[in-house]
């Protein structure tokens, strides 16, 4: 079971049986999609057959733990919006599609399933999915204390576009699910195999400003399996 908390409400989401999915190549601009494909090509990852792509992962791999184990020295994370559907309602979380980059050159689906998928404990209600926009969400990722990604989730396709596509393609039947929604470009254009990962996003809602804007954060540490 995965427990997530909705701040300010005293309400927890208890997800027991749920589908877990990683969405890839979700940039709204095709040039940005091509750029990400080129980033992956630098480490030998072949281009996908289509975009976006949806990869099923094990539900038990999604974790709010602050320490996770991996089996390879060549793994890296990235900041992503996480979409949660629970009892028919949608929520926004923050997570990292931590991936085995060496295995990614052989089989992208296996590389996604090879690592735990860290996400923050706190999530925010999305309310009306049609009116929510990623343009309001600024995000950062630090790897071993160094700024690794910075930008806005505005560059990603909106959840109102991505989620119906995923539900149709994977034949999800209205039950609970968690979907990692894609990432923003790397500052240096190359992957880092860091130990300490820090994710942050800030949501600029009507009437909020500066430090008043809702924020989601998560930190996690990678350890090598013995």
More confident residue, 94 or 101: 94
Q: What is the pLDDT of residues 175-187, one digit of tens each?
A: 999 999 999 989 9
How much is the pTM? 0.92
Q: What is the pLDDT of residues 195-207, one digit of tens each?
A: 999 999 999 865 5
Model confidence at 12, pLDDT cuts 50, 70, 90, reads: very high
Q: Please say whether the structural domain 2-6+14-224 has been given the CATH code 3.90.850.10.
A: yes
Model confidence at 104, pLDDT cuts 50, 70, 90, reads: confident
Predicted confidence at residue 205, as pLDDT, reads: 63
Residues with Cβ < 8 Å from 2, sequence gap 6 or more? 14, 15, 18, 59, 62, 63, 64, 178
More confident residue, 123 or 101: 123
Q: How many residues does the chain have?
A: 226
| Domains of the chain, residue spans | 2-6+14-224
Decide if 160 contacts 129 (C-beta within 8 A): yes
Model confidence at 10, pLDDT cuts 50, 70, 90, reads: confident
Nearest C-alpha neighbor of 203 from the set 65, 78, 91: 91
Model confidence at 224, pLDDT cuts 50, 70, 90, reads: confident
Mean pLDDT of the chain, nearest integer? 91
Nearest C-alpha neighbor of 59 from the set 31, 24, 20, 91: 20
């Amino acid at each position: 079971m995965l427990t997530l908390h909705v701040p300010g409400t005293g309400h927890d989401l208890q997800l027991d049986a749920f589908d877990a999915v990683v969405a890839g190549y979700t940039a709204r601009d095709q040039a940005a999609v091509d750029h990400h494909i080129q980033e992956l090509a630098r480490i030998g990852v072949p281009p996908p057959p289509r975009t976006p792509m949806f990869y099923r992962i094990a539900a038990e791999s999604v974790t709010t733990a602050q320490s996770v184990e991996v089996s390879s020295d060549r793994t890296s994370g990235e900041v992503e919006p996480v979409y949660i559907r629970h009892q028919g309602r949608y929520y926004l979380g923050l997570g990292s599609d931590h991936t085995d980059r060496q295995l990614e050159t052989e089989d992208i689906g296996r590389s996604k399933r090879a690592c735990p998928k860290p996400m923050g404990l706190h999530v925010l209600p999305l309310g009306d999915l049609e009116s929510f926009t990623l343009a309001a969400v600024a995000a950062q990722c630090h790897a071993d204390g160094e700024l690794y990604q910075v930008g806005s989730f505005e560059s990603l396709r909106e959840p109102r576009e991505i989620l119906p596509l995923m539900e149709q393609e994977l034949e999800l039947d209205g039950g609970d699910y968690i979907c990692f929604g894609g990432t923003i470009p790397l500052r240096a254009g190359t992957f880092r195999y860091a130990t300490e990962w820090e994710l942050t996003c800030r949501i600029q809602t009507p009437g909020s400003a500066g430090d008043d804007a809702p924020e989601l954060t998560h930190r996690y540490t990678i350890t090598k399996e013995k």
